[in-house]
Amino acid sequence: MNYEKYGRSTASAQYFLQLANYLGIPVIAWNADNSGLERRASQSSLQLQLAPSLEHQTAAMLSILERYKWHQFSVVTSQIAGHDDFIQAVRERVTFMADRFKFNILNAVLVTKASDLIELVNSEARVMLLYATREEAIHIMTWAREKKITGENYVWIVTQSVIENHQDPPYSFPVGMLGVHFDTRTNSLVNEISTAIKVYAYGVEDYITDKDNANHSLNTHLSCEGAGESRWKAGDRFFKYLRNVSVEGEQGKPNVEFTADGVLKAAELKIMNLRPGVNNKPDWEEIGVWKSWMVKPGEQLDIKDIVWPGNSHTPPQGVPEKFHLKVTFLEEPPYISLAPPDPVSGKCNMNRGVICRVAKEADIENINIQEAHKNETFFQCCSGFCVDLLEKFAEELGFTYELVRVEDGKWGTLEEKNGKWNGLIADLVNRRTDMVMTALMINSEREAVVDFSVPFMETGIAIVVAKRTGIISPTAFLEPFDTASWMLVGVVAIQAATFTIFLFEWLSPSGFNMKATAPSPNHRFSLFRTYWLVWAVLFQAAVHVDSPRGFTARFMTNIWAMFAVVFLAIYTANLAAFMITREEFHEFSGIDDHRLSKPYSHKPVFRFGTIPFSHTDSTLKRYFKEMHNHMRKYNKSSVKAGVDSVVSGELDAFIYDGTVLDYLVAQDEDCRLLTVGSWYAKTGYGLAFSRNSKYVQMFNKRLLDFRENGDLERLRRYWMTGSCKPGKQEHKSSDPLALEQFLSAFLLLMSGILLAALLLFLEHIYFKYVRQHLAKSDQGGCCALISLSMGKSLTFRGAVFEAQDIIRHHRCRDPICDTHLWKVRHELDIAKYRIKQLEKEMEAHGLRPTKRRAVNTSANHSCCWGCCTTKDSPSHEATPQFYFAASNLVNTHHVRSNVVVTNEFLPHLPCDSSFYRTEVAEIETVL
């Protein structure tokens, strides 16, 4: 078909091709202006196309760009069917020609209304490839004329669908427009019919002559009634022979052959130029030809003189005189900070920078831009280091720019789910922006897909923590000496002094008789009392102590007192320095500190985070996986939120770019923030561009100039410096002390109470369980050397002496109490007298009573309450008197409780030693 008005037969041809493909019927086609469309849209695998395809047209258009050294261009399409295929064909051809000529597709604009051309107006595109119908092209060029993008600096190159039959071009088409075209008149259609018959005939001949097809007939059994086949089985096999035919072409042209996709290998296109004709009426004129079969690139295109836009005889430069850049950013103080614009004028003050868009592109459609400038949800004022640097670039290089915030609010990382980039890098990869200007860190992953300038600032990954002021360590009272010093004093000095004084007292002839079996009543020295003496002297405690008698032991005590004076002087002098309120913080060595890299190795676990989808996050994810997994629940959406969490104590640390954290530390009013450790993964901030961008070199050159003349350093000092407010800090240091300031003293007191409670428990255990076992083997001699009270608790004499001492020193105002005390003392004297009488009578009978017990319990005696007999003698009358006195002693008034107890004698008690020992123990307990 050769309908030259696009769209008249598109639907029917499309349906026909799809139906033929479904039935398995090969198609040999010749289409005028939609030759490439049907093959792509219908996905027909059984179609041979005799007309030049859409790929041929894009190749011819890019050959024109190559001839005149136009490296950058934009693609403009309407909603014509197959416009995506045209853009894809252009991209494929750009990739194919990348080895010999670098192209840069600036924009791919779909135009449905006049406002869609704003993107072209704001871009630096000066060469446009247009793919649309003739009617749509008329509207597009009318809008373009209104936007003033059809002048002498703009070149429009159109496809066959725009030119159609090249008769009577519309006045809206600007003079100088170029296009690609092939003959679509009826004569051309008739000529192609004969070529199609040849292709069919050669295909049949090749099929029949092939011996492999002896059993395969070309006859069909297709039927629409359901009785036959629904698809021609031999169709696919026959198509392979049609695709491989070679038909002799016209004189001077190559044979008609096809590619594996059924596209014509050798195609010829005419290059058309819109020139002013008679009466200034525009007219299409053929100025050259493009031949696809020419091997050498320079020979494919043959063009004579061209009338260029604006009736010029010289081609335009293809680049803007003052180009425009779309600059994408993400806020990061101090590099880029946001502030609301003036609500009345919609402009930024001098100190607030330049206007920048923070709303998404879809949100500002059909909105008055002038009114939107007054709304901070759409536009805000950008200021900072990068904005000032961008202003210097614009002044030096002569360009205009538009600042736009990245829509997804991410820095740019490679997502694991779909393998695509997000954030700023995605805008560059997809060529939605020309340049990224912010604190974007350079790394190897990003450099693989975008181009970076030379770094304008060095940085790395750092850690920020907060000072914890006013808290004293619970062990501050131990800090004046190190562990070795305390061990030397506690284990060596105290023990040596104690045992030395005790040993000198033992060996001294003028000291207490430490070798005595049982200490005398006036004995006042033991090992525990020596310890009490040493501790009391060491801490200069105003308590009662028992001093040794021996001169050597007393001299040693004085030496220990001198040591205690020196020790306390040193301790108290240093204690003041350790008990003052100090500022504490977590001193991390860096990211590789084991408390961070191995977070679960430290208890309690530290809380720290960063910003997701940032350079820091991706670096930690790659090299510190355990650390990265731990941080996820502590990550924050912004640097301010992270730093505020550190100040409030919600986080122990925040990890991010070093220069940004240094700036925030310098700006902290309370001076509570500080960065710790060394920077990790040092790199730099750079300007990012799309791959193979022509702007990289010019920006690099200017950056080096700025660094050399000191402009970068001046900007750094202006934006990066800050100062704390020391007055606030001094005010805080004079605040009254809170409980936590001297918490160590309370902890020491509480520990002493708990230890005393433990000793009380052990004392009860001793009197209830241990003492009766010690009484069997120790009569109070050895134990008294360690503790006098322990030795007395094991002997009857010790208990009696203790009772005497209590009676001697205890007085009460109650006359009844005094009477009771006198009676107890009198009965005690009688008991002593009777004991002596008993001892004399026993000696008269040849029996010597033991000095350790009141009653002999040896093997030769059998004793009970009220009787005492031996194997050699009967009972004696003095014995009952002795036990009667003892019973009277027991059954008298209880000294401590003033309770009157019966005085009667208790006869007929069992006569065995175990019962006796129990009674003796009870007597001792009462005393």
* Binding-site residues from annotation for L-glutamate: 446, 616, 657
CA quadruple 537, 540, 545, 549: dihedral sign: positive
Reduce the DSSP state of residue 76 to 3 states and report it. Answer: strand
Cis status of the peptide bond prior to 548, with omega within 30 of 0: no
| Chain centre to alpha carbon of residue 157 | 52
Q: Provide the 10 A C-beta neighbour count for residue 490.
A: 10
Q: What is the rounded CA–CA span in Å between residue 527 and residue 546?
A: 11
The rounded Cα 235 to chain-centroid distance in angstroms is: 62
Q: Can the peptide bond before residue 334 be classed as cis, meaning omega within 30 degrees of 0?
A: yes
- ∠ CA 303-174-320 to the nearest 5 degrees? 80
Question: For residue 612, with 0-12 CB atoms within 10 Å meaning exposed, 13-18 middle and 19 or more buried, which class applies?
Answer: middle
What are the DSSP calls for 389-437, one per residue?
Answer: HHHHHHHHHT-EEEEEE-TT-----B-TTTS-B-HHHHHHHTTS-SEE-
Letter for the amino acid at 709?
N
Q: From CA 336, how far away is CA 293, in angstroms rounded?
A: 54
Q: Which candidate, 28, 369, 74, places its Cα nearest to that of 195?
A: 28
Beta bridge partners of 336: 332
Binding residues: 446, 616, 657
Angle at which helix 83-96 crosses helix 35-42, to 10 degrees, equals 100
CA of 449: how far to CAs of 70, 102, 431, 454, 684, in Å?
A: 24, 16, 11, 16, 17
CA 740, chain centre distance (Å) = 32
Q: Which DSSP category does 248 fall into?
A: -
CB pairs under 8 A, 24+ apart, for 616-622? 616/461, 616/655, 616/656, 616/657, 617/413, 618/413, 618/414, 618/443, 618/445, 619/443, 619/461, 619/680, 619/681, 620/461, 620/591, 620/655
Q: Which residues in 207-244 are b (16+ Cβ under 10 Å) and which e?
A: beeeeebeeeeeebeeeeeeeeeeebeebebbbebbbe
**Burial class of residue 544 in the structure, from the number of CB atoms within 10 Å of its CB (0-12 exposed, 13-18 middle, 19+ buried):** exposed
141, 159 Cβ separation under 8 angstroms = no
Instruction: For residues 62 and 290, give the distance between their C-alpha atoms in angstroms, rounded to a whole number.
Output: 11
Give the count of beta carbons closer than 10 Å to the beta carbon of residue 585.
16
**Residues with Cβ within 8 Å of residue 491, at least 6 apart in sequence:** none
